[in-house]
Structure 1
């Protein structure tokens, strides 16, 4: 009999539903009941719907049970979902996490331009938060974006920062890029 632990596997689940509390409660409970652990999750509200993305881990049979339970849960709790098997993100010890903050008058092309800039410089996207809102003084639509990225090993940081600020100035964006810092040290 082998004494090595079963190999952990990963599942990424995205779900969309009208009730954020019920959606979260149902999916977290399903993970627990099927002996899966939630490694990471994000919940956001978009209009009348909420989107929950979570990564669960467990043995292959635990993840299979979780997957098999989802159609019934989705029907009862009124949500839509999608699942994909995943693997752990390989370590990138020489990469550097940075955060870019962008504020500007809203234009539909801003995020696409930002993504193209980072792609052209081989910078990986880790997370994105973007909101638009009405300015109280003018009524114009404004955009706020927080983009967490990973700089590849060997990147000359001062050069990339200068390139990013020049890029932002050319698009009339109020922007800043700085090292990522934990929120709760």
Structure 2
């Protein structure tokens, strides 16, 4: 497998299928056979489906080979696959990684309201993990959300935290905004 170089291009692949292991194996093998490198991947299960996102890098001809093989793979593996070329991001300005944790009684408007708050305050969203569930004690439908965000380095953090806590109180959310910390294993 070739190593990643500055001349490599990127391809984003999203796939939906029923068997997470078979789907992951098929896509990883297709990348390997096309001489592409997997830069990052995320797999999640949703009822009887799984969703796999891959960021793949490689030379233009390696990516072209992979793009040609993906529709064949989708048909063979009985899954849905979409892909798109991406450009390497420009150098980012200094920014601060933060994380938001939310727990609340389920309401359909909570995630859109959180996104609107971030838009209004010019905060960048990096990842979302959002799950709803029935609380075992009360059988009340609840939600937990974790949002990883990036704050501009010049943003006044205490001001944003106050704004966020007021916003959370208005929606009756149990929520916190704190610095992102790497997970130590």
Q: Give the TM-score band, short-chain normalised.
A: over 0.9
* Residue of structure 1 in register with 2:14 after alignment: 14
Q: Deviations over 1:75-123 (max 9, x none)?
A: 1111101101002233324111100000000000000000000000000
Give the Cα separation in 1 of the matches to 2:38 and 2:6.
17
Give the Cα separation in 2 of the matches to 1:152 and 1:135.
37
* Residue of structure 2 in register with 1:139 after alignment: 139
* Residue of structure 1 in register with 2:99 after alignment: 99
Give the Cα separation in 2 of the matches to 1:59 and 1:122.
35
Give the Cα separation in 2 of the matches to 1:123 and 1:174.
20
**Structure-to-structure mapping, 1:18-167, within 5 angstroms:** 18-167=18-167
Give the Cα separation in 2 of the matches to 1:145 and 1:6.
36
SS of the aligned residue for 2:39 comes to strand
SS of the aligned residue for 1:115 comes to helix
Shift of the alpha carbon at 1:152? 1.5
User: Number of paired residues?
Assistant: 181
Consecutive unaligned residues in structure 2, runs of 5 or more: none
Contact 1:99 1:180 in 2 (8 A): yes
Contact 1:6 1:59 in 2 (8 A): no
